[in-house]
Chains A and B, each alone.
Chain A
Amino acid sequence: MVENRPFLTFLAHLVLILGVAFVALPVWIAFVASTHDQATFLGGSMPLWPGSNMWETYRTILTDGVPNSGTPPLTMMMTNSLIMALIITFGKIAISVISAFAIVYFRFPFRVLAFWIIFVTLMLPVEVRIMPTFKVVADLGLLNSYAGLSIPLIASATATFLFRQFFLTIPEELVEAARIDGAGPMKFFRDMVLPLSQTNIAALFVILFIYGWNQYLWPMLITTDEKFYTVVMGIKRMSDVADSDPQWNFVMGSAMLAMLPPVLVVIFMQRLFVKGLVEQEK
């Protein structure tokens, strides 16, 4: 602070408190809704303070699922989300770290071409080429499977690029010292590159976990069997009930649960998360 201006400081606090309230409002409302029973909403009013039905709501959706919604219990959907998110996260990290290693530490014919092919993926968000991608997955018989949910999302130019940038900052002499010490490429990879990439891997883990958990369109397209529903897409299914109002307490309770894992990851791994995000820009 250059000079002390109490009024400006007060103003800044005010802005931030309003900002935090703005950011928190939708979630608070959702939380409150999840703590009331179905009857509360039938009257067309929305309470602003939590009710007494919280445990009942969460117990119902976790163990039985939202009644008459055609969706399985939340425990099942959340498990599916977790499996999908983890396969995507570990898959992306694994294939990116090895391909970046190949691109940085070897010179081989078609290296530049391979690099470009990977990078073209950046240009094409899933939503844009959704129909043909869906067809490929259908032809491969991957509909309604964990493989179909996750593998098409595993190729990642982002992670490859991040690792490449990081590897370029590892001092040359480290490879040279390792070679003199008798380390071949894979030994160098295991003994040097992986341990040195730890923080980067952890930061990417946070970002990619959120990315994987929050997938919506893709799971919606390729799962018709409710056994494979994920929680984020499931909420859309349960709120789209024909000819009747959604069961707000259950839908909002599910939304709360669907948010919980990624939000916890961000809050508890904030430092890594920030690093992961800001590094992407570099």
Chain B
Amino acid sequence: MLRAGLFPFPPFGFPMQTKRTTFRSYWLPYLLIAPQLAITLIFFIWPAGQAVWQSFLQEDAFGLSTKFVGLRNYVKLLNSPEYLASFETTVIFTVCTAGLSLGLALLFAVAVDRMIRTASAYTTFILWPYAVAPAIAGVLWWFMFNPSVGVLTYALQTMGYDWNHRLSGTDAMILVVLASSWKQISYNFLFFLAGLQSIPQSLREAAAIDGAGPVKRFFTVVFPLLSPTTFFLLVVNINYTMFDTFSTIDASTAGGPGQSTTILVYKVYEDGYKGLDLGSSAAQSVILMGIVMVLTFIQFRYIERRVQY
């Protein structure tokens, strides 16, 4: 969640700013930076390196010997229907979750932006799910859709729909999309609201004087001006749905039924931790790291552009 919210990737070749006046010491800066660096090296860089190395290895069935197999893990992955299916699942899940949570968040933000006295109360009521753990969000929605006691299952039944996410892949997908979107609305809402509030009132007034009604005004003036925020949120939401929804999925459908809600990051865990296929899991990690890097790079290009405004 936190990671998804950030943005701080400094430009490549970015002049490393310091102060005009700096302190002089040969050892103090190293001492200050040492704890952070040590933890980063031990728990981030080293394991990531291990993952890359591991991705070129294969263990035999008994875990007794390991041999170097070059890119074979990758080749196997890209030819594996399950892995490709997981890619597809990830895309569907990401598009639906990002679309739903962004859409609702924008709607709420536009509505709150109209309010004067009640704005802060509504904001509080929409904001708090940010604090709910993704895993808990999964549990809450899993409960509401429980085939025997779920409220929503019951409601759907009275409408003639027989919900069972334990059997139906579509139902399971809807469940994780709802749980993940529910959790993410607050974050998107906050940024949309901040974006809306930073649009100068005079622009809307000018549009109103030019004869644009509220709806037209929204689509011709407000929404285009929100596009930097929207773009930022889009990238953040892709990041969120690809990685941070792990717990939501694990706590609700656990990737099932079958593989219908196994997104890429879940598959890394399943194949590695549960399936003990370390080589394949590592190769998947490396592919995901590649995706994260691309996303970060895009985010970053965007900041760079925006700074120039």
Contacts and interface: CB of A to CB of B under 8 A. Distances in A.
Chains A and B touch (C-beta atoms under 8 A apart): yes
B171 interface: no
A243 interface: no
Contact of B136 (A33, A136, A259): A259
Contacts of B285: 128-132
B223 interface: no
Closest 3 CB pairs of A and B: A161-B8, A132-B47, A214-B133
Contact of A30 (B110, B140, B244, B273): B140
Interface of A: 1-3, 5, 8-9, 11-13, 15-16, 19-20, 22-27, 29-30, 33, 41, 44-46, 48, 95-96, 98-99, 101-108, 111-112, 114-115, 117-125, 127-137, 151-152, 154-158, 160-162, 165, 168, 172, 175-176, 179, 184-186, 188, 207-208, 210-211, 213-214, 216-217, 221, 232-233, 235-236, 239, 245, 248, 251-252, 255, 258-259, 262-263, 265-267, 270, 273-274, 277-278, 280-281
Given A131-B278, A136-B47, A211 B40 contact: no
Given A130-B285, A259-B132, 7 more contacts: A26-B141, A98-B33, A118-B36, A122-B296, A131-B278, A132-B54, A266-B131
Contact of A267 (B116, B124, B148): B124
Contacts, number: 349
A31 to B, nearest CB: 10
Report the contact-size class of chain B (Cβ under 8 Å from the partner). 35 or more
A95 B39 contact: yes
Nearest to B242: A125
A266 B133 contact: no
A210 B130 contact: yes
Contacts of B114: 1, 8-9, 12
A278 B5 CA distance: 9
Contact of A248 (B3, B9, B143): B143
B43 A111 contact: no
Nearest to A266: B131
A122 B8 CA distance: 9
Interface stretch (B57-65, B67-75, B90-98, B246-254): B246-254
Nearest to A282: B7
Interface in B126-144: 126-137, 139-144
A214 B25 CA distance: 40
A200 to B, nearest CB: 14
B159 interface: no
Interface in B261-279: 265, 268-269, 272-273, 278
Given A112-B16, A114-B37, A236-B135, A125 B3 contact: yes
Interface string B136-164: 11011111100011110010000000000
Contacts of B219: none
In this complex, which of B36, B139, B190, B250 has the most chain A Cβ atoms within 10 angstroms of its Cβ? B36
Contact of A127 (B25, B135, B154, B265): B265
Given A118-B36, A133-B47, A123 B292 contact: yes
B80 to A, nearest CB: 18
A30 B41 CA distance: 42
A128 B288 contact: yes
Contact of B37 (A3, A99, A122, A265): A99
A128 B227 CA distance: 30
B269 to A, nearest CB: 6
B9 A119 contact: yes
Contacts of B125: 20, 23-24
Interface string B273-303: 1000010011001001100110010000000
A13 B115 CA distance: 8
B214 interface: yes
In this complex, which of B1, B24, B251 has the most chain A Cβ atoms within 10 angstroms of its Cβ? B251
Given A2-B208, A128-B285, A106 B23 contact: yes
B50 interface: yes
A114 to B, nearest CB: 5
Contacts of B45: 117, 120-121
Given A27-B140, A115-B16, A130 B268 contact: yes
B2 A232 contact: no
Given A33-B143, A127-B269, A216-B247, A151 B115 contact: no
B19 A175 contact: yes
Given A95-B36, A216-B250, A105 B18 contact: yes
Given A30-B140, A105-B23, A213-B133, A132 B48 contact: yes
Contacts of A33: 143
B111 A15 contact: yes
